[in-house]
Amino acid sequence: MPEERKERAKKLIAVLKKLFPNAGMILNYGNPWELLVAVELSAQCTDKRVNMVTEALFKKYKTLDDYVRARPNKFEKDIYSTGFYKNKTKNILAAAKMVKEKFYGNIPKTMEEMLQIPGVARKTANVVLGNAYGIVEGVAVDTHVRRFALKFGLTNHKEPKKIEKDLMEIISKRDWFRFTYLAIEYGRHICPARKHECVNHPLSKIYPRAARTWPKAK
């Protein structure tokens, strides 16, 4: 089974690279801290909406200290339209204080340290480390990646951590970082989460069973 999945993943990724040669991060940011803020805001929110919010947010809060000094009730209003604004405000402002006090104002460069930051799980850590520093320690598993992995039989699990472990075992490390964005583009432009016909999708030829499955992201 692992070897079969490894070969399938290799074929899927080869086609994805041809379909989406420019796949990558579309969140706007100016530095590693702003990237972390944008990624935390993107939870249960579209990247398009996040970019609309951060356009004004990053002009208002220009430095890490601005976030450290921010008043929660005002910050909540600034990010309100991204949803879950109370929890996001709590995490982002707490993260600012930790980054300033524990990491001397710099976003850390290891998974272990990243996971200490409020609001940061492995997905966020992988995205920030990969885009900010080119450090790849795993595969960022968002809802698109989760659905893709299930649909194409690359995992039997539904929990992000277990899915990531499976993907890391069957995908070449050189493709870990890029795979996330390839899967996201496939989900956005070819195979959305709503139930639909997948028979003629470009990857269904590689794994015909995918044409009969519509695992929904939860």
Give 180's contacts (C-beta < 8 A, 6+ positions apart).
126, 127, 139, 140, 141, 142, 145
For a pLDDT cut of 70, what percent of the chain falls above it? 97
The verdict on 160 and 125 lying in the same domain is no
Examine residue 217 and state whether it is found in any structural domain, yes or no. no
Number of domains in the chain: 2
pLDDT digits (tens, 9 = 90+) for 145-187: 999 999 999 999 999 999 999 999 999 999 999 999 999 999 9
Examine residue 120 and state whether it is found in any structural domain, yes or no. yes
The verdict on 18 and 47 lying in the same domain is no
Question: Can you give the pTM of this predicted structure?
Answer: 0.93
pLDDT digits (tens, 9 = 90+) for 37-91: 999 999 999 999 999 999 999 999 999 999 999 999 999 999 999 999 999 999 9
Confidence of residue 212 (pLDDT cuts 50, 70, 90): confident
The verdict on 127 and 101 lying in the same domain is yes
Query: Hey, what are 173's tokens?
Result: 């490390």
Range of the domain at 46: 32-133
Confidence of residue 218 (pLDDT cuts 50, 70, 90): very low
The verdict on 16 and 47 lying in the same domain is no
The verdict on 156 and 105 lying in the same domain is no
CATH classification of the domain holding 58: 1.10.340.30
The verdict on 178 and 163 lying in the same domain is yes
If you average pLDDT over every residue of the chain, what do you get? 95
Examine residue 7 and state whether it is found in any structural domain, yes or no. yes
Examine residue 218 and state whether it is found in any structural domain, yes or no. no
Helix-helix angle 72-79:47-60, to 10 degrees:
140
Do the beta carbons of residue 92 and residue 67 sit within 8 Å?
A: yes
Please tell me the total number of residues recorded for the chain in this structure: 218
The region of weakest confidence among 79-83, 102-106, 195-199 is 195-199
DSSP string, 87-109: HHHHHHHHHHHHHHHTSTTS--S
**Residue after which a domain boundary falls, among 133, 153, 177:** 133
- Tell me the HSE value of 198 on the side-chain side, using a 13 A CA sphere: 25
Long-range contacts of range 79-83, CB-CB < 8 Å, 24 or more positions apart?
A: 79/41, 79/53, 81/49, 81/52, 81/53, 82/41, 82/42, 82/45, 82/49, 82/50, 82/53, 83/44, 83/45
